[in-house]
Amino acid sequence: MNLFDIKDRKAIVTGATRGLGYGMAEGLMEAGAEVVIVGTTDKVKKVAEDFCNKGYKCHGVVCDLSNRSDLNEKFIEMINLLGGHLDIFINGAGVQRRHFCEDFPMDDWDDVIEVNLTAAFELAQLSGRQFIKQKSKGKIILVASMLTFFGGYTVPAYAASKGGIAQLTKALSNEWMSKGINVNAIAPGYMDTDMNSALMNDNKRNDEILSRIPAKRWGTADDMKGLTIF
């Protein structure tokens, strides 16, 4: 038996139009899964079409993750696109705002917490309910961060949201493991994504960061694939 066989599994991946979410979704499809990718703009439709042109089973859904009523409605659409069944949910979506702590605007705080933590919980909750309704096993992967542990600099909302993801992962796992629902979080380090472009383009900061990475390079979306399948 191949313990890592996910052929024909049904999955939802948020934040999958670029960056780490894109890599995670692509990894699932390369391994034979059918995936609904979720994005905040119509770009998600084009990305899904590109995946389909490569021979993968992919559907694109536009969803405002900061709109709680939209989440519920769009989740139903996602399940319907997958034929009424779900096996895997991955929350890859995230936003970032940078200000010194003493100047951090509360509107930015609310935006980051809503997308990075509240939407992650709501979609995980909806997925958990779906698994329980199906009386089937399920896998949930949330995306934490190195800042879950280190706190970061000028990113109090992001650090708080990712710290929350770690504790949410434990809480969901504690309750749902006995129901056959496996909940984990992946905590990437410095990754080559749009979110980190400012750091990568600052030669001094880039050199400082690379000096602390044993591999001497930034992580990539492809680095997420094997870990996600595992």
User: Which positions are catalytic?
Assistant: 158
> Own/partner pairs for 107-113, CB < 8 Å, 24+ apart?
108/157, 109/156, 109/157, 111/66, 111/157, 112/157, 112/158, 112/161, 113/157, 113/160, 113/161, 113/164
Task: Show Cβ contacts of residue 62 under 8 Å, excluding neighbours closer than 6 positions.
Answer: 38, 39, 40, 41, 42, 44, 45, 74
Count Cα neighbours of 176 within 13 Å in the Cβ-side half-sphere.
25
**Contact of 63 with 76, CB cutoff 8 Å:** no
Task: Show Cβ contacts of residue 209 under 8 Å, excluding neighbours closer than 6 positions.
Answer: 190, 199, 218
**Contact of 111 with 66, CB cutoff 8 Å:** yes
